[in-house]
Amino acid sequence: MKEAKYHKKLPDGQIKCLLCPVGCKLKEGEEGVCMGRKVIDDKLIATNYAQVVSAHVDPIEKKPLYHFHPGELILSVGPNGCNMFCRHCQNWSISQQKQRTMTMMPEELVSLAEKENSTGIAYTYAEPFIWFDYLMDVCPMAHEKGLTNVLVSNGYIHLKPLEELLPHIDAINVDVKSMRDEFYKDVCEGRFRVVKNTVERIVRAGKHIEITYLIITDINDSEAEIKEFIDWLAGLDNTIPIHFSRYFPSYKMNKPTTPIKTLNMAHAVAKNKMKYVYVGNTYIEGTSDTLCPECNNTLVNRSGYFTRVVGIEDGKCSKCKSKVDFVL
Ligand code: SF4
């Protein structure tokens, strides 16, 4: 049993978990709301350590990461549980419900990634930050074998554990759900400020980051909010790839599917300030390929999850020779 890092004992004998802002206070035998940590024999145990709910080899574009090793395959694994409780969760059966898991110790996971000729390991499907103790063991081991570590996350973690984990991570896709704290509170039981801090910290660390924004009808789809989102990101770095994603009714949310015109509006707003903007979960012509921001040469061609790097040579646009923003 692995003792979990980041917690403190309270005067009343309870243990407070300090990994994420949920801040669970737990008595003997109680489990955190993410289902990953539990007090056993007066210790906070990472009960989700090495417990894998799902494992697949996916195109890295599926994370989505479009500018990190394009066209490569990545072994993708996920924990059971999450520290947010989004009413529209697409993966609610593994993020919000207990599921049977398989045990994969760090060395087993790393050797599976090597066997699969994977570019690395993606920690995804549910929330990887609740796997902190596992990640702190697996990620350095993966690096030793020349594999990359990729997170797909809601960004809901305290700064200290984030700082500890970041040196072991190569690329992250953060799901920004809205620019409004009310959205985070009402729809996800989270807080926007924390996610904002996480994104800004990752950018400052110089890590490869891409952002996903799921546009939900009537909730986070106003032009004003999209503008605010883009202004914030453009102020950080206008080369961050943005993935607008089309919402379909799911779990406890039954708002209508996002209209194509809303996705087109978001794409147009973002293109005013950001260099790389994509629309996913549907097909809209001209929103999947990557064009050179200087000369419009097609750098990467994408059809579904079939990806071809067609216009990059030696890290530059093959036509105008300007630098392109890819990790290859
Ligand atoms: S990581 Fe899990 S146990 Fe810890 S505070 Fe967050 S939700 Fe609670």
Instruction: Check if 158 has its Cβ closer than 6 Å to any atom of ligand 1.
Output: no
The pLDDT mean for the chain works out to 97
Task: Report d(CA 237, CA 151) in Å as an integer.
Answer: 20
Query: What is the per-residue pLDDT across 162-221, written as a single tens digit (0 to 9) for each?
Result: 999 999 999 999 999 999 999 999 999 999 999 999 999 999 999 999 999 999 999 999
Instruction: Check if 33 has its Cβ closer than 6 Å to any atom of ligand 1.
Output: yes
Task: Report d(CA 262, CA 264) in Å as an integer.
Answer: 5
pLDDT of residue 166: 98
Q: What is the mean pLDDT of residues 113-126?
A: 97
Q: How many angstroms is it from 130 CA to the middle of ligand 1?
A: 7
Q: What is the mean pLDDT of residues 42-46?
A: 98
Instruction: Check if 17 has its Cβ closer than 6 Å to any atom of ligand 1.
Output: yes
Instruction: Check if 23 has its Cβ closer than 6 Å to any atom of ligand 1.
Output: yes
Fold of the 51-288 domain: TIM Barrel (3.20.20)
Instruction: Check if 84 has its Cβ closer than 6 Å to any atom of ligand 1.
Output: no
Q: How many angstroms is it from 83 CA to the middle of ligand 1?
A: 6
Ligand 1 pocket check: which of 31, 33, 160 to mutate, most ligand atoms within 8 Å of Cβ? Answer: 33
In the chain, CATH 3.20.20.70 covers 51-288
pLDDT of residue 275: 97
pTM for this predicted structure: 0.97
Q: How many angstroms is it from 184 CA to the middle of ligand 1?
A: 17
Q: What is the mean pLDDT of residues 34-53?
A: 98
pLDDT of residue 238: 97
Ligand 1 pocket check: which of 82, 86, 130 to mutate, most ligand atoms within 8 Å of Cβ? Answer: 130
Q: How many angstroms is it from 236 CA to the middle of ligand 1?
A: 29
pLDDT of residue 101: 97
pLDDT confidence bin for 249, thresholds 50/70/90: very high
Give the start-end residues of each E strand in the chain: 7-9, 15-17, 25-26, 37-40, 43-46, 51-52, 54-59, 73-78, 102-103, 120-123, 148-153, 171-175, 208-215, 242-246, 277-280, 290-291, 298-303, 306-309, 312-313, 316-317
Instruction: Check if 20 has its Cβ closer than 6 Å to any atom of ligand 1.
Output: yes
Instruction: Check if 311 has its Cβ closer than 6 Å to any atom of ligand 1.
Output: no
pLDDT of residue 41: 97
Longest Cα–Cα distance in the chain? 67
Task: Report d(CA 15, CA 44) in Å as an integer.
Answer: 7
pLDDT of residue 12: 96
Q: What is the mean pLDDT of residues 129-155?
A: 98
pLDDT confidence bin for 230, thresholds 50/70/90: very high
